[in-house]
Structure 1
């Protein structure tokens, strides 16, 4: 099974939209193992709509829109890391993490611990706005400290060429391209915008 992990430098930066575009571009199956917050459309529902590809059910669906450890505690649920093993699928599998790397799943384990255990290449999604250099370089350092293979960094937002260059050079990582903010977020608009992403480089990492 070919698996690619999509994680982010923070929450709410466009990681799910990127995951939808990548899932469609790879002809993959999508899986978000832990979903916190069910009041609005879930990430899985968004990806299903935008990608038109198969979406696997979450291992944990938690009501509270908060860190998974807190959401789970609010419902009296204990997240069992054994349930977060990637399920077998035919073809590529895109796994989207929850928030950033240091998001706690339990009081003892971070999402980074699980990502490292999956032993699959990681795409780091970063915003282009102020603070992204710091957040991106810290995230890259954390991934590599756990032995993770980084396929590259994909950016979301308005163009900030110097920030992208600085992250790629100082982080010694491939710039996979940039997705702009899409005012009209439709499947066709995402397909068109995703042409700016180096999907071939991501395929090489699988």
Structure 2
């Protein structure tokens, strides 16, 4: 009977060892499976982050490209601005006015639109010559450049401004070979200052008032 008891105990130990091995293998498989699952999940998250990063990068590149393109178009448009001035019949309504303080260099012919102006001081007066029509001005007196039509275009074909205008000059005195005027530009349409400045030649220093 003792030997049967010993045999039974030995069988139980073997069974216990066998079960422990199975459980151990299952635990190891579980750990490996969990590790593999974690690794795959990490890879998926990394790919998702990369995709998001690439998406943001592409979006930023597109926006920057559009901004650069817009800047180039604006620059080309500004460089191709052209002003044409034509004679018109006077008497049109000119409800908009822009005022400047300006200086004319004495004795230098200057073109405003298609009008040519020369001013020269004489004692306490100024002699203003506009298209060959001379007139003396004392301080505070006005001289009018008759109504014209201005057509401002860009890219050679796109019309930005089509307006009639008239210029009033009020003589303010002279100093250092410069004649000072208050200049009022009256227009039939409201014109942005940047475009209106295209009517003023670089020889005239003009300061908005």
TM-score after normalising by structure 1: 0.20
* Structure with bigger gyration radius: 2
Tell me: higher relative CO, structure 1 or 2? Use CA pairs within 8 A at least 6 residues apart: 1
Larger strand percent: 2
